[in-house]
Structure 1
Amino acid sequence: MMKQFEGFGKFLESLRGKMSLREAASKSGLSHAYIRDLELERNRSTNEKIKPSPVTLKKLSDAYKFSYTDLMEKAGYLEKETVTESNTPLTLPMEDILFIEISSTELTYHTRLGNRKLPMQSLLDFSHFLDQLEVHGFKKMDADLFVNLSHVQKYNASEGKLYFDPLGVSVSVTIAAFRQKKYHDLLLKTVARHTGNDLEFHFDRSRVNDSLLAPIKGHV
């Protein structure tokens, strides 16, 4: 593990800025005393040197709206790497990707022209990568599945499946039940927009479900 950035506690204090310790505690879920200990880099009760865990850094990242990756680097958990365009996932045309499957060792990009597997370069690359998915319209639909909603054209709610063509004959993905519940309305709106049924959705949701199935019945 790398050495923690010198002055890391002061850096955390600068991130907090004018925010009070109690406000920071409320936003992060950490105690205000512990946050102050981290800023001083020692436990004031025992005078022992302390270092925040990755979980603690994630809470501070969210509370201070600061990059989790950068905090991990400065805390010594990640080694900053020079990432070239030849090996970073972020250089791929994200708008062409239908969905992404993630394993512990690689990323699999699924496009209309085929699949492409890339090795997981590092935790740093992966952290940057996850930060960008939401920006590009991806939603997490299972533990290891991220779907580009801009390509979804059919939603089979009874089977929990998403298709990337209006007839439901292309490749499909199955989404987790709790994700389906969370994104049900969003998926209906997405498909309605992609199939030209926006207005129908707003006036009568039940008609949207029927209208999404009607073209399929007509082509069988």
Structure 2
Amino acid sequence: MKQSDGFGKFLEQLRGKMSLRDAAYKSGLSHAYIRDLELERNRSTNDKIKPSPDTLKKLSDAYNISYTELMIKAGYLDNQETQAALPEIDLKEVMFIELGAKEITYHQQDSKMVRNMNSLVDFSGFLDKLDEHMFKKVDNDLFVNLHHLRKYMEKEGKLFFDDQGQGKYVTMSALRQKKYHDLILRSVAANTGNSLEYNFGRKTGKSASIISIK
């Protein structure tokens, strides 16, 4: 589906008298990116841009407007869309999820399932459900199920779903790695039946490492 004409102008009208920096503070997006969305182009490359569903959710919260309405105007949903809010997928079996511009990809151990983004009429409900199943956002549009983590390579920021670190993996952003470092260590230790060992130093402070229990 095509983004409605004048969508950028519509976003600018939603912002109203709110400054770009205030909008950035409320949404968690950069003020430069918000302005690019209003102009419908990347001012550095002059390429046309379209906000992702995740970005639209942030704007809907910041501007106090229906997320579904933004999804319709951005071209992700048909105005007559009546499809159920979420696909029937057992999230307990999903290792990680990728959100694309038009599709959601659910990765399992030996397979993956793709669903149309139109299924996410209630995006906030979808995020709540991910949180209930211990999914954490580790990079832009990438969510990992902490219950499936088996190995953590800190230097590379890689998260593996097998003990040997030879199978599927995802890479965390530096910001998310810093935020979830201890939580990931605890999750890997719990999933593998190992324990955490804490070290204390004057210069380094507290640090943790996983040790095997034999």
Tell me the TM-score normalized by structure 2: 0.58
2:82 counterpart letter in structure 1: T
* 1:141 corresponds to 2:138: yes
Tell me the TM-score normalized by structure 1: 0.56
Cα distance, 1:208 vs structure 2: 2.8
1 or 2, which has the higher helix percentage?
1
Cα distance, 1:167 vs structure 2: 1.4
SS of aligned partner of 1:124: coil
* 1:152 corresponds to 2:155: no
Structure 1: unaligned runs, 5 residues or longer: 2-27, 30-52, 62-67, 216-220
Structure 2: unaligned runs, 5 residues or longer: 5-24, 27-55, 73-78, 201-205
Deviations 1:195-219 (A, max 9, x none): 2223x4468876734x36x99xxxx
What does residue range 162-181 of structure 1 map to in structure 2 within 5 Å? 162-181=159-178
* 1:186 corresponds to 2:183: yes
Q: Is the 8 A contact 1:106 1:118 kept in 2?
A: yes
Cα distance, 1:183 vs structure 2: 0.6
2:173 counterpart letter in structure 1: A
Q: Is the 8 A contact 1:153 1:165 kept in 2?
A: yes
How far apart, CA to CA, are the structure 2 residues paired with 1:149 and 1:155? 11
Greater Cα radius of gyration, structure 1 or 2: 1
- Alignment equivalent of 2:61, drawn from 54, 58, 62: 58
1 or 2, which has the higher strand percentage?
2
- 1:100 aligned residue: 97
1:114 counterpart letter in structure 2: S
Deviations 1:110-136 (A, max 9, x none): 101211111111552444322321111
1:208 counterpart letter in structure 2: S
Q: Is the 8 A contact 1:104 1:120 kept in 2?
A: yes
Number of residue equivalences: 150
Cα distance, 1:72 vs structure 2: 4.2
Deviations 1:124-155 (A, max 9, x none): 24443223211111000000210000000110
Task: Quickly say closer, same or farther: Cα 1:167–1:206, change in 2 above 3 A.
Answer: farther
Cα distance, 1:171 vs structure 2: 0.7
Task: Quickly say closer, same or farther: Cα 1:181–1:203, change in 2 above 3 A.
Answer: closer
Report the RMSD for the aligned CA atoms in angstroms.
Answer: 3.3
Q: Is the 8 A contact 1:90 1:129 kept in 2?
A: no
